[in-house]
């Protein structure tokens, strides 16, 4: 059995409420040598909302790459750690997983933005030091505890919130596109993961407009909490239980291919993945669902067109370059569309443009 086929749990503890940072000091009592891994803006946001400044705990700043190289650097600095406290967004949490894996220690995650399900999963998107995509890495443990402070998140940047919603919405479509090619009856854990994916789709299509308004007004409401918990904890269950059947297919392959263009590096991971979903649906000839999601994207301000990606190279040369990467054997588009070819993805991109 390959390691990525092993079923794992969601976080050992998941705490989600307004003011939840009050519990962090209590959770740290189980450890002797905590180290914080964070970024500049994320640590500033944390300090604004935490009742305990955690004085005396070493604070290490990541280099914004989410790379194995930076993980190794930080692991050397925190070689005596028994827990890594990841304070930040997806790349901070993924970097902390690399560090904790090298040190064989636990993680406590404290998300400061709603960008991805990284705080709750044993999986990381790893990049090269130049920020181009390298690989998906798998780790032996999920977080010991994930502390989700809804008050902090209600004051977080809208762009990250949009990215988290987009990345999570894709879960159902990618998982379903994979399992539709499975001939046998699904294993119980896979079925559970797929059911979680369906829950993410239903909640996000229903509650996202209200939750975005709540964010703009800094309001913690039931709809806001449902969306937050969906992006973090329900989404984690998809990959943790369905394993490789609940992770990535066509949409993420397009995201990975878009990393070839430096203009896309500033766009949130989830937003690029959700654009990739439109390409996946077009390649699968799921045109009714393509139309429905384009309308949803337009209503909520998400990217739905190639031109919104800001790529300077002309479509005539850039699209085939992206499509060749996404259709390659090392990528996952073929999990959604078996035997997909570069030209199939090129046609799908242009079909999306026709529908928008």
Kindly state whether residue 166 falls inside one of the protein's structural domains: no
Neighbouring CB atoms inside 10 A of 26's CB total 11
Q: Which residue has the higher pLDDT, 269 or 282?
A: 282
Question: Who's near 62: CB < 8 A, 6+ residues apart?
Answer: 37, 38, 39, 70, 74, 88, 91, 92, 95
In terms of Cα–Cα distance, which of 122, 130, 138, 51 is closest to 86? 122
Kindly state whether residue 33 falls inside one of the protein's structural domains: yes
Kindly state whether residue 165 falls inside one of the protein's structural domains: no
Per-residue pLDDT at 247 = 76
CA dist., res. 25 & res. 147, Å (int):
11
CA dist., res. 167 & res. 158, Å (int):
14
Strand partners, 145: 108
Per-residue pLDDT at 132 = 84
- Is 118 within 8 Å of 93 (Cβ atoms)? yes
- Render 64-104 in DSSP notation, one character per residue: SS--HHHHHHHHHHTTT-SEEEEEESHHHHHHHHHHHHHHT
Q: What is the mean pLDDT of the chain?
A: 94
CA dist., res. 175 & res. 202, Å (int):
15
pLDDT in tens, 46-86: 999 999 878 899 999 999 999 999 999 999 999 999 999 99
pLDDT in tens, 214-250: 999 999 999 999 999 999 999 999 988 988 777 789 9
CA dist., res. 18 & res. 233, Å (int):
16
* Token reading at 163: 């990215």
Q: Which domain range does residue 276 map to?
A: 249-356
Do residues 261 and 141 share a domain? no
CA atoms within 13 A on the CB side of 274: 29
Per-residue pLDDT at 53 = 79
Burial per residue of 47-86, b for 16 or more beta-carbon CB atoms within 10 angstroms, e otherwise:
eebbeeebeeeeebbbeebbbbebbebbbeebeebbbbbb
pLDDT in tens, 163-213: 999 999 999 999 999 988 887 788 899 899 999 999 999 999 999 999 999
CA dist., res. 1 & res. 320, Å (int):
36
pLDDT at residue 110 above 90?
yes
pLDDT in tens, 304-341: 999 999 999 999 999 999 999 999 999 999 999 999 99
Do residues 12 and 149 share a domain? yes
Please count the structural domains in the chain: 2
**What is the end-to-end Cα distance of the chain in Å, rounded?**
43
Domain CATH for 137:
3.40.50.1970
Strand partners, 45: none
Neighbouring CB atoms inside 10 A of 157's CB total 17
Pairing state of beta strands 83-88 and 34-38? Answer: parallel
* Token reading at 28: 């740290």
What value does the mean pLDDT take over residues 159-164? 94
φ, ψ of residue 99 in degrees (nearest 5)? -60, -50
Do residues 265 and 130 share a domain? no
Kindly state whether residue 178 falls inside one of the protein's structural domains: no
In terms of Cα–Cα distance, which of 317, 242, 248 is closest to 280? 248
pLDDT at residue 102 above 90?
yes
Domain CATH for 320:
1.20.1090.10
User: Looking at 33-176, which runs of residues are DSSP E strands?
Assistant: 34-38, 59-61, 83-88, 106-111, 123-127, 133-138, 145-149
Q: Say which DSSP state 11 is in.
A: -
pLDDT in tens, 285-303: 999 999 999 999 999 999 9
Helix-helix angle 158-179:235-242, to 10 degrees? 30
In terms of Cα–Cα distance, which of 328, 294, 321, 320 is closest to 308? 294
Do residues 8 and 148 share a domain? yes
Chosen domain end from 112, 135, 153: 153
Chosen domain end from 153, 171, 192: 153
Chosen domain end from 112, 131, 153: 153
Do residues 16 and 128 share a domain? yes
């Amino acid at each position: 059995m390959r390691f990525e086929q092993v079923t794992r749990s969601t976080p050992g503890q998941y705490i989600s409420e307004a003011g939840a940072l009050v519990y962090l000091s209590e959770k740290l009592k189980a450890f002797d040598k905590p180290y914080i891994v964070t970024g500049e803006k994320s640590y500033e946001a944390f300090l604004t909302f935490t009742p305990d400044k955690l004085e005396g705990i070493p604070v290490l700043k990541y280099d914004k790459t989410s790379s194995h190289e930076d993980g190794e650097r930080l692991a050397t600095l925190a070689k005596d750690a028994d827990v890594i406290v990841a304070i930040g967004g997806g790349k901070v949490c993924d970097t902390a997983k690399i560090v904790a894996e090298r040190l064989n220690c636990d993680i406590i995650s404290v998300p400061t933005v709603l960008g991805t399900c990284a705080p709750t999963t044993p999986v990381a998107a790893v990049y090269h030091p130049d920020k181009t995509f390298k690989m998906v890495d798998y780790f032996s443990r999920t977080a010991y505890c994930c502390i989700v402070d809804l008050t902090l998140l209600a004051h977080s940047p809208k762009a990250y919130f949009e990215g988290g919603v987009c990345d999570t919405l894709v879960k159902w479509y990618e998982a379903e596109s994979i399992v539709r090619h499975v001939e046998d009856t699904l294993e119980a854990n896979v079925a559970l993961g797929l059911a979680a994916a369906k829950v993410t789709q239903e909640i996000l299509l229903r509650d996202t407009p209200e939750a975005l308004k709540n964010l703009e007004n800094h309001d913690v409401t039931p709809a806001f909490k449902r969306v937050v918990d969906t992006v973090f904890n329900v989404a984690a269950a998809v990959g943790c239980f369905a394993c490789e059947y609940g992770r990535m297919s066509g949409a993420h392959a397009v995201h990975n291919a878009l990393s070839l263009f430096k203009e896309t590096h500033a766009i949130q991971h989830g937003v690029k993945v959700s654009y990739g979903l439109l390409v996946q649906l077009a390649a699968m000839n799921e045109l009714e669902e393509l139309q429905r999601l384009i309308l949803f994207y337009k209503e909520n301000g998400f990217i739905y067109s190639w031109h919104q990606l800001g790529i300077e190279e002309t479509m005539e040369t850039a699209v085939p370059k992206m499509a060749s990467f996404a259709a390659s054997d090392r990528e996952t588009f073929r999990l959604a569309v078996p035997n997909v070819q570069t030209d199939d993805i090129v046609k799908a991109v242009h079909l999306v443009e026709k529908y928008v």
